[in-house]
Chain A
Amino acid sequence: QSALTQPPSASGSPGQSVTISCTGTSSDVGAYNYVSWYQQYPGRAPQLIIYDVSKRPSGVPDRFSGSKSGNTASLTISGLQAEDEADYYCSSYAGRSKVFGGGTKLTVL
C-alpha cells in the first residue's frame, strides 16, 4: 500500500494550462482504470473532480480532464482560474484497497 507519487507543487498563470502527474505501479494505476482525482481547499473536505481516469461528475467544469498511460495518470486543468488554487490528490483502486498520492499544491500566479 505505497502512496502514489505526485509533484508537491505546481503553478500556472490565469488562462494557462497545468498538468499534474500521478505515478503508481502495475498493481494500482497500471492495473485498473479506477483512477480518481480530488480537489481540496484549506480547511475543507475533499471533492471528487475526476473518476474512472477521465470521467467528470456533474457540475465539474470541462476545464478539468484526466488521462492515463501505463502506470502514470495525469490531471490537466486548462484555462486556469484563481479559484483552481487548491490541493489536488490522485487515488487508485489497488485490489481490495485504495491508495492516494501525496498531494499537489496548485498555485495560480
Chain B
Amino acid sequence: EVQLLESGGGLVQPGGSLRLSCAASGFTFSSSAMSWVRQAPGKGLEWVSALSSGGDSTYYADSAKGRFTISRDSSKNTLYLQMNRLRADDTAVYYCATMGTGWVLRSWGQGTLVTVSS
C-alpha cells in the first residue's frame, strides 16, 4: 500500500523559510515522479511543483518559481520542498503526491499545514 507522510509544517514569519518532507513507502520511490500541491484554508487545490523520478527535471508554478525548491533523496525515500521568502498567501495545507503519466496525481499524503504570519 502506498503511504506518503508529510511533515515539517508549522508557523513561520513572513520572509522566513521552511522545509517540508514527504516520507514515502509501499512503492518504488526512485521510479516515481512526485509533486506538491497546496490548498489554502477554505480554497481550492493549487499545483506547486513537480520532480521527475530521477530528480533531474524540476517544474514550478509561477507562484513558487524563485522561492521554492523541490528535491528528493531516493536513499531515504523522501521528497522535499524548501520554501524561502514565505508570504502570507503561502499559508496552506501542503500535500505530496505520486505522479504518473500525464501528471495524474495517483496517491496523496494527508498534508501538512504551513501558516505564514507575524
Contacts from A to B (Cβ < 8 Å): 1, 3, 32-34, 36, 38, 40, 45-48, 51-52, 57, 89, 91, 93, 96-103
Cross-chain contact B111 with A45 (CB below 8 angstroms): yes
Size of B's binding interface in residues, CB under 8 A: 23
Asked if B19 is at the interface of the complex by the 8 Å CB criterion, the answer is no
Interchain pairs with CB closer than 8 A, number: 63
Residue of B nearest to A57 (CB): B106
Top 8 closest pairs, chain A to chain B, by CB:
A34-B102, A98-B47, A51-B104, A103-B44, A45-B108, A100-B45, A93-B103, A102-B44
For A3, A32, A97, which residue has the most chain B Cβ atoms within 10 angstroms? A97
Cross-chain contact A45 with B95 (CB below 8 angstroms): yes
Q: Which residues of B contact A97 (CB under 8 A)?
A: 47, 59, 61
Pairs A–B under 8 Å by Cβ, sample size 16: A1-B61, A32-B102, A38-B105, A46-B45, A46-B95, A48-B105, A51-B100, A51-B102, A52-B101, A52-B102, A89-B44, A91-B45, A96-B59, A97-B61, A103-B44, A103-B45
Task: Give, as a whole number of angstroms, the nearest-CB distance from A51 to chain B.
Answer: 4
Q: Which residues of B contact A46 (CB under 8 A)?
A: 37, 45, 95, 105, 108
Cross-chain contact A34 with B104 (CB below 8 angstroms): yes
Residue of B nearest to A55 (CB): B104
Assembled-state Cα–Cα distance A89/B100 (Å): 18
Contacts from B to A (Cβ < 8 Å): 35, 37, 44-47, 50, 59, 61-62, 95, 100-111
Cross-chain contact B104 with A48 (CB below 8 angstroms): yes
Assembled-state Cα–Cα distance A68/B118 (Å): 45
Residue of A nearest to B98 (CB): A48
Assembled-state Cα–Cα distance A48/B103 (Å): 12
Q: 20 other contacts beyond A91-B45, A100-B46, A103-B44, with CB at 8 A cut-off? A: A1-B61, A1-B62, A34-B102, A38-B45, A38-B105, A40-B45, A45-B95, A45-B110, A46-B45, A46-B108, A48-B104, A51-B104, A57-B106, A89-B44, A93-B102, A96-B59, A98-B35, A98-B47, A98-B50, A100-B44
